[in-house]
Amino acid sequence: MPLVDCMNKIQNYINGSMVAPKSGQWLDNFEPATGKVYSQVADSNESDVDAAVTAARNAFPAWSKTHATDRAAMLHRIADAIEANLDSLAAAESKDNGKPLWLARSVDIPRCVSNFRFFANLITGVESQSHNSDGMINYTLRNPLGPVACISPWNLPLYLFTWKIAPALAAGNTVIAKPSEVTPMTASMLGELCIEAGLPPGVLNIVQGSGSLTGNAIVSHDDVQAISFTGGTKTGKHIATVTAPKLKKLSLELGGKNPNIIFADCDYELMMETTLRSSFANQGQICLCGSRIYVQRSLYETFRDDFVSRVKQLSVGDPLEPASKQGAIVSQQHFEKILGCIERAKEEGGNVLCGGNAVSLAGRCENGWFIEPTVIEGLANSSESNQQEIFGPVVSIAPFDDADDAIAKANESQYGLSATIWTSNLNVAHRVAAEVESGIVWINCWLARDLRTPFGGMKESGLGREGGMEALRFWTEPKNVCIKF
């Protein structure tokens, strides 16, 4: 399967074909592990977006009337194609994003397959509502919306892209989708796989380009009926101001600063192993990573010493090496931002217990963007470092006294995406889960996912929920029909 055309140019997938942007404008695309440009991606403008929306509008009548079982069969064919190309997709994801190859192969790409299969299965089992009373029956139709948009970030590129596209298509919508311009490669490969799978032209259109040009053109297009966005809180708020006057349906999955609350009675080894992952998986660039670690005072020093010594063993290296636990940071801009946040933490009185520096590697990765996993203590809960999202391999640790104290510290945040609680006391677990302000709570685990559950954040972490029926509800318009007899 060709990754890009012979000129290393990543094109758009519009109306069933791979096409160059009309303006002829391209952006450089970097390999984070080497710091080198290795391809170029279309920087699409309003007329490319308009072509995608026109294709989606034209494809809508037939696709929306296709029987759910036929749409499901098509989604399964796309899943089959992803599965058959798992190795090349994983290699492309790792190269484009900097994440370890083993991670892309074991988590990112298998999850894309699951996303398509899950919504293919779900749509064939959907029941409609009916309300029966006083000589009348009401029933509810759920119709697809029309051409809709999916916009996703760079941290889990194809994983989050397909998490939005699959339910939108399953529900009978046609889609205009934009991946991050920082990680465009696997989205482009998805376009090629859709051609291979026989998806009718215009049902899915993938428009590449920057947020300011391409993204803006998508969200402000009058014929785009709904937008599902995952990315930064600032961008989400901006999109809300563009779409609100046009009364477009909007789902926002935004930033986080997630608390990890560790009680002294937890299963220590399981907690330690999982906390290493929840802190540093994907170089800490997962919106669900726990970046504020609160540990009950009686366990604090033991935890701190063990944790720091285990973090020091996390090897940072070439994403292609199976031994690399940590890969590269996604871009030079983000690399510099993270190092700046570490400096800021020091200014705020933070004591860097381990890490804190860029890593220089020899050989092919000598110019790559790598940062040591970093643990900081001594920061005030209200400090910028504990309040602003860093989105990198940086966590702060602090002691707490009791459940009330832990809940207060966890909730002192503008964000409310996810929280993790470690305890063997059921009462404490349920109480903290109920009182912590976040859309997702994990007790004695992290990132355990059942795709049927509501997924999303509260406060500045988002608006609305994805996952299972929540996603199908978002991507459809309910219509009540009342019959009196």
Q: Contact residues for ligand NAD (CB under 6 A)?
A: 151-155, 160, 178, 180-181, 210-212, 215-216, 219, 230-232, 235, 238-239, 253-256, 287, 389, 391, 417, 457, 461-462
Closer Cβ to ligand NAD, 165 or 239, answer by number: 239
Are 410 and 292 spatial neighbours (Cβ–Cβ below 8 Å)?
yes
Closer Cβ to ligand NAD, 115 or 155, answer by number: 155
Phi, psi at residue 40, to the nearest 5°? Answer: -130, 150
Closer Cβ to ligand NAD, 160 or 193, answer by number: 160
Nearest CA-CA partner of 182 in 149, 157, 199: 157
What is the side-by-side order of every strand in the sheet holding 462-463? 17-19, 12-14, 204-206, 174-178, 147-151, 226-230, 249-253, 462-463
Closer Cβ to ligand NAD, 116 or 455, answer by number: 455
Cβ neighbors of 9 (< 8 A, separation 6 or more) are 20, 26, 39, 40, 41, 42
CA 105, 32, 373, 282 torsion-angle sign: negative
Cβ neighbors of 313 (< 8 A, separation 6 or more) are none
Closest separation in Å from C-beta 233 to ligand NAD: 6
Cβ neighbors of 475 (< 8 A, separation 6 or more) are 144, 145, 148, 167, 168, 170, 171, 173, 226, 228
Closer Cβ to ligand NAD, 406 or 440, answer by number: 440
In the set 31, 93, 253, 389, the catalytic residue is: 253
Cβ neighbors of 2 (< 8 A, separation 6 or more) are 192
Residues 315 and 86: their CA atoms lie apart, in Å, by: 25
Closest separation in Å from C-beta 457 to ligand NAD: 5
Closest separation in Å from C-beta 192 to ligand NAD: 20
Q: Nearest residue by C-beta to ligand NAD?
A: 211
> Is 482 marked active-site?
no
Closest separation in Å from C-beta 179 to ligand NAD: 6
In the set 287, 289, 341, 365, the catalytic residue is: 287
Closest separation in Å from C-beta 302 to ligand NAD: 31
Closest separation in Å from C-beta 261 to ligand NAD: 20
Within 10 angstroms of residue 364's Cβ, the number of other Cβ atoms is: 13
> Is 192 marked active-site?
no
Closer Cβ to ligand NAD, 92 or 151, answer by number: 151
- Give the DSSP H or E segment for 46: helix 46-65
* Chain centroid to CA 470: 17
> What residues are labeled active site?
253, 287
